[in-house]
Amino acid sequence: MNILQIATLNRPIKQDIGYGPIETVIYNIDKGLHDLGHHSIVACSGDSSITGDHVTTIDKSFSEYWSKNTREQRKNMKYHLSASLDRIKKGDIDIIHVHDAVMMEYIYKGITKSSVPIVMTLHVPAQEKGQFNKWNESLHSTSAAYFVPISEYQNKQHHSLVNGQKVIHHGIDLEDYPFNKNIEKENYLFSIGRITPDKGQDKAIEVAKKTGSRLIIAGNIQNKEADRAFFAKIRKSIDLVVESQGSINESDQNDYYERVMKPILESDAQIIFIGEVNASQKKLWYHFARATLFPIQWGEPFGLVLIESMACGAPVVALNKGSVPEIVMHGKTGFVVDTIEEMAKAVMEIDKINSNDCRNHIKDNFSIASMSRKYAELYKWIINERTLCQKISL
């Protein structure tokens, strides 16, 4: 099959980026489809580096994951979508795959005279009568638009969607995540995610204080007033801030450990903020952590942090919200709890979790191969279903 993914533009689509959850998913789907032998095409910015065929729409991504809606951005977005439609019009695309509600509506309207079906992965949260839901309600069941939830929790939130499909969980490439079942763990807890009240870094600090644990906090501070105010609030509890850690690739991981991680871990500081880290850096922080804290304060539709942590053998201690109980096996790959007090107690029991069980859980349930195979099966079903309907209508 020829599959065209139309990428988001906040960050480039490539392997070793910092904060970029949707971009990471796009990269993984592209790689997985390519490995399965499909013709994977991605319409994205020129600073991207993908596995399949690259259709360059604009020269550079926006770089900031969130920023003001400027005229320049609107111009670039329009050009990106227009160039994507031009690629579709060549006539060889079997399936279009998008990851953004605005893009979905634009592309769908642009191909109404075409027979090419379009799939959207539901990264959007369910909101009562939101713009996306209102548009979806205008569709017919015979429309060439299909929507894929990323968790059972999200599926329930979007239960009334027209053409909603079965859940497809995100997957990662385990070969890219360091793991050694005999590794000697460092004595710290890890927390990573966008710095915002929804992610609960203040709760992670509370757990660290209750348990006397060292806590490493990594995260992107977006240019939002509420997020900046939240960081200013938790900054009072942070003992050490370490940023500008330099780049790292697979060949100099040991150098990063010696140059950056070791001095931090040898310091007397308890609560440490290391800013935004790239993919290679965060994998090392997962790798050596006793556990990853996930004190989420909202219904997270999925949470890549969970599977990335367990892939590196770091168990997860998480609050029982959103998709968490679908992903973390309580008592086997971590602990799913209801309160901060229970989270603190779970930290004291974390050494009972076997890191090998964490790794195997991800291998068996959340791999790139599994995710991509499910998408490929969905694409094939959609194509066959629409072909059959067209024959019946003739």
Kindly report, residue by residue over 46-75, the tens digit of the pLDDT. 999 999 999 999 999 987 666 667 888 889
Asked if residue 358 lies in contact with residue 315, where contact means CB atoms within 8 angstroms, the answer is: yes
Residue 333: helix, strand or coil by DSSP?
coil
pLDDT tens digits, 330-387: 999 999 999 999 999 999 999 999 999 999 999 999 999 999 999 999 999 999 987 7
65: left (phi over 0), alpha (psi -120 to 50) or beta: alpha
Beta bridge pairs of residue 5: 42, 97
Separation of alpha carbons 99 and 190, rounded Å: 29
Q: What rounded mean pLDDT belongs to the chain? A: 91
Asked if residue 118 lies in contact with residue 378, where contact means CB atoms within 8 angstroms, the answer is: no
- Which residues does 22 contact at the CB level (< 8 Å), separation at least 6? 8, 10, 99, 100, 123
Structure tokens at 242: 């370490």
Q: How confident is the model at residue 394 (pLDDT cuts 50, 70, 90)?
A: low
Backbone angles phi, psi at 291, to 5 degrees: -165, 160
Q: What's the pLDDT score for residue 129?
A: 63
Strand positions, DSSP E, 106-209: 118-121, 145-148, 189-192
- One fold for 2-171+367-393 and 174-365: yes
With DSSP H G I counted as helix, E B as strand and the rest as coil, what are the percentages for the chain, rounded to 5?
45, 15, 40
Asked if residue 208 lies in contact with residue 189, where contact means CB atoms within 8 angstroms, the answer is: yes
Alpha helices in the chain (DSSP H): 21-35, 71-88, 101-110, 131-137, 152-157, 201-211, 225-235, 253-256, 262-265, 279-288, 304-311, 324-327, 340-348, 355-365, 368-393
Q: Which DSSP state fits 273?
A: E
Confidence check: pLDDT of 78 > 70: yes
Mean pLDDT over residues 169-184, rounded?
Answer: 91
- Domain residue spans in the chain? 2-171+367-393, 174-365
pLDDT tens digits, 134-175: 888 888 888 899 999 999 999 999 888 999 999 999 999 999
Backbone angles phi, psi at 348, to 5 degrees: -70, -15
Mean pLDDT over residues 383-392, rounded?
Answer: 74
Mean pLDDT over residues 229-240, rounded?
Answer: 96
pTM comes to 0.92
Domain 174-365 -> CATH class: alpha beta
Domain 2-171+367-393 -> CATH class: alpha beta
* Distances in whole angstroms, Cα of residue 385 to Cα of each of 90, 148, 165, 358, 378: 23, 17, 14, 38, 10
